[in-house]
Structure 1
Amino acid sequence: MDRWAWPGLGMGYYQGKATFLAAVLPGERVLAQTVKAGKNHLEARLVEVLEPSPARIPSPCPHFPDCGGCGLLHLSYEDQLVLKEQQLNEIAQRAGLKVTAGFTPSPQPWGYRHKANLKSGGGKLGLNRYRSAQVLAVPECKVFSAGLKQAFSGLEPNREADLAALESQDTGQVALVWLEKNRQQPLSGFGQQVFEDYGQGRLELTAAGFAQSNPAVTRLILADLLSAARGYGRIAEHYAGAGTLSLGLALGAEQYFGYETHKKAVELGNRNLKAHGVQSGQIRESNAEAALLPDSAQLLVVDPPRAGMASALINKAIHSKLEAVLYLSCDPMTQARDLARLVQEGGFGLVWLKGYDMYAQTGHQEALALLVR
């Protein structure tokens, strides 16, 4: 293997084609099996490490590397942090962004995951095997929180439905819900929602909806984001969800304009704002492609899915009177692409870019950027 590739994959060459696979380290010689062949590249599965790297460590998890959840368990946590910071900076530089990003570790590298969706299949309840639809039972998962592991113990896949789970680090509540085709069915003894406090006040969150998996890192991100937002009185937010970022933004704004695609998230987000007496604005149901952005807005805050910002919203921001943009992302590749457009076409300057280890033991990360005009 020659070098690292995003996200935390090894890359080498076989018969002249770039070959990508997980659970390997640069400098290693390995035996691998091709699982997907593209025109110019191959994707492979590790069969055996023939010549290991000195940096390789024994995995503490018996499910590695079969499980598709964690991809860096063969690398020390210190080396994981170095890798992620390096990859974040390489991605930014390839996009033409002039910035040096720092990286914040997870306060809890293990047992941090408070949100999970388990798959049912083949008489098992667990996670998908790596690059497979097969289900692997993971009773010894090292990243699930203690509360989730206790809630999962003894559960049987008694229906062909996924299981959504959410534990509040604040209250210890656990919500478990079967995700059936046309309905959500809570398990006996568990509710559908919990209350979590990320530092701005308690939020109602649902197991079936979106919630960040690492509450401790979410608090760190929110502290940085709200500090950067301070001083902007008129704030617009797209991809608002159930209000994880919205509550702190709306409490500090003179006018707040929130937008979210999913109706249930809009209802929950507004319920959270109302519970804290927010009077600066509310969340409206609107797709980001509609690119609603008030002329009076000074700051735009976005936290889009992995695909990145809607092109129409980027265009609107470029031609707006915005003074600043705060861009939170779970995919530095699409984030860098969008930041480059805002810088090159919109006249924004990239002030800073910060990475956060939201997903410790995996190749993924969260990144927050501040742009100003």
Structure 2
Amino acid sequence: MPNPNLVADRRSVEPDRWKLSVAPMLDWTDRHCRYFHRLLTTRALLYTEMVAAGALIHGDVPRHLRYNMQEHPVALQLGGSEPTDLAHCARLGEQWGYDEINLNCGCPSERVQRGAFGACLMAEPLLVADCVKAMLDAALVPVSVKHRIGIDKTESYDFVRDFVGTVSEAGCSTFIVHARSAWLKGLSPKENRDVPPLRYELAYRLKQDFPRLTVVVNGGITSNEQIADHLMHLDGAMLGREAYHNPWWLASWDRAFYGAAATELTREQVEVQMCDYMSREAAEHGTPWPSIARHMLGLRHGLPGARRWRQVWSDHKLKGLSAREVMALAHAVQTDSV
């Protein structure tokens, strides 16, 4: 349901809002994943999967925008290229209580390219500026842009500098820089996450050239040491695949980067809370537990017996059991394998 307690203007946010965030990842960062991640960190900003503007305009809005109130701060990422459509979707995001609206200008998939949005929008900075202005006019929440450092094999810093300069003039003050180019021809989306070289120095130069903007870096970050290094130059770091596959890493963030108390939950207590959540979701929405459990398969990453534990939680032959019963089986086989 939309949040009835929206304040008049939420564009003024705490200065460390973007210090750490979990990247929007298609098929991964759904509301169940975000609920799980929020158990591990109370402070990091969480992002939805990309939601295409057309899906909101012509589809099931509650299905796309429903989330758990515990997820805040949580941002809605949109995909689209029509200013009027994006304005409508930004207004919906505000009505539903999202803390930020993000425009995807970084996805390189062919499906997204056919829709004329994602990374190919970097070739049209004036259009992106029009989209941003329309969203800002429609909603009173911050609007950010997530983008690459270039498209295809463009190596010029001038390209991304001019893109950011043009879009910032429309009122966008937060840019999340995936520090790789997007090669729109010849590479799959998976290859686009690994093959184009990382060039963090271009993100650093953007912050130097636009000191009043919030610049967040994304891509290839796998440790707290790397995060700390980036925060010496930039306003934030966005973490993706490593955060998803090794989620217990998130439990260190509040203390390491916000000076806040670390989570008091153990891995076992997190698992119990997720079981309770699975039970509620099954009762209220008919959600089968495997749809939720898949997001926590990395919870015991690196621990003895983790492989056997993970095999139980990913065994769809057990879907007739309750989540609590599956947890008991998982603990039994984990103990046997240690």
Same fold (TM over 0.5): no
Report which structure shows greater RCO (CA 8 Å, sep ≥6): 2
Structure with the greater alpha carbon radius of gyration: 1
Higher helix share: 2
TM-score normalised to structure 2 length: 0.25
